[in-house]
Amino acid sequence: NAGVTQTPKFRVLKTGQSMTLLCAQDMNHEYMYWYRQDPGMGLRLIHYSVGEGTTAKGEVPDGYNVSRLKKQNFLLGLESAAPSQTSVYFCASRTSGVYEQYFGPGTRLTVT
Amino acid sequence: KNQVEQSPQSLIILEGKNCTLQCNYTVSPFSNLRWYKQDTGRGPVSLTIMTFSENTKSNGRYTATLDADTKQSSLHITASQLSDSASYICVVSPHRSNDYKLSFGAGTTVTVRA
C-alpha cells in the first residue's frame, strides 16, 4: 500500500496562474480532506468529501475548488493563484467508523 | 482565538531524557483528542486518540493523558531518541460522527540532541 500520495511535491506559481493538486489513496477510504498548513498556525480544513461524487466546504474554502470523481482521488484546484495561497497543502483520508486520518506527504506551493 | 493552545512552542532536550508537552483546549462539546507527530517535510502521523471517557493512552514511549474536566491534555515522551525530533500536534474533535470541525493546535517543536 502506498497510503496517501500527493502530486506534485513542490510548485511555484505566478499570481493569476491556475493549477491542480492531486491526492490519491489506495486504502478504499470514504472520507478525504484537503488542509493547508501555515507557519505558527494549526492545520485548517479547505474542503472535504464524504464519498465519491460529494464535496463540501471547510473552514477556508475561498479561492479553491475540489472534485471527487473517483473514490480514490481528490483534486484541489486553484483557478487564479494569489500570494496568500502560499502554503503547504496536505491531503488526508479515513475510513468510516474510525477516527484516525492518514495524511499525505504534502505539497509545498509558492505563489509569487 | 485558537481553541487549542499548545505549550511550549518549542523545546530542546538531551537524548535519553523525558519531556512533557501540554495542550489546553476550549472546544465544546468534546468528543475526542488526538496527538500527531509530524516530521520535518512530512505529513502528520497519528500517535494516540482518546475519547472523553479515557484519561490515558500509550503508544510505545509516548503516553498521552486527558483531563476533560479541566480541558487539558499532555503528551509525555520517555527516554527520548533522536528520531523523536519533530513537531507534535494536538487535535480536538467536537463531534463523534464527523470530523470536519477539527481544531488543530499550532504544535510543539521538539529537538532531541545527542
Which chain A positions have a beta carbon within 8 Å of B91's beta carbon? 42
Pairing of strands A73-78, A19-25: antiparallel
CA-to-CA separations, B49 to A15, A98, B38, B46, B53, in angstroms, rounded: 40, 10, 15, 8, 11
* Among the listed residues B112, B50, B80, B3, the one whose alpha carbon sits nearest the alpha carbon of residue A100: B50
Q: What's the CA gap between A39 and A43, in Å, rounded? A: 10
CA-to-CA separations, A55 to A1, A49, B36, B100, in angstroms, rounded: 25, 4, 25, 12
For A53-92, the pLDDT digits (tens) are: 999 999 999 999 999 999 999 999 999 999 999 999 999 9
Q: What's the CA gap between A68 and A72, in Å, rounded? A: 8
Output the nine-digit C-alpha cell for B104.
488543530
Mean pLDDT for back-to-back runs of 10 residues, chain B (114 residues):
90 98 91 95 95 93 95 97 98 78 94 97
Say which of A42, A94, A106 has its CB closest to residue B104: A42
Yes or no, beta carbons of A106 and B42 under 8 Å apart: yes
Say which of A42, A58, A102 has its CB closest to residue B100: A58
A99 confidence band (pLDDT: 50, 70, 90): confident
Question: Phi/psi class of residue B9: alpha, beta or left (left: φ > 0; alpha: ψ in -120 to 50)?
Answer: alpha
Question: Phi/psi class of residue B60: alpha, beta or left (left: φ > 0; alpha: ψ in -120 to 50)?
Answer: left
Output the nine-digit C-alpha cell for A112.
509569487
Strand partners, A78: A19
Q: Are A90 and A101 in contact (CB under 8 A)?
A: no
Q: What's the CA gap between B75 and B21, in Å, rounded? A: 5
pLDDT cut 90: percent of chain A above it: 93
Q: Count Cβ atoms below 10 Å from residue A90 Cβ, excluding itself.
A: 25
* pLDDT of amino acid A96: 86
A42 touches chain B (CB under 8 A): yes
Mean pLDDT of A39-46: 93
For A4-38, the pLDDT digits (tens) are: 999 999 999 999 999 999 999 999 999 999 999 99
Q: How far is A60 from chain B (nearest CA, A)?
A: 12
Say which of A50, A58, A90 has its CB closest to residue B43: A90
* Among the listed residues A1, A41, A13, A20, the one whose alpha carbon sits nearest the alpha carbon of residue A91: A20
Strand partners, A45: A35
Q: What's the CA gap between B5 and B23, in Å, rounded? A: 6
B62 touches chain A (CB under 8 A): no
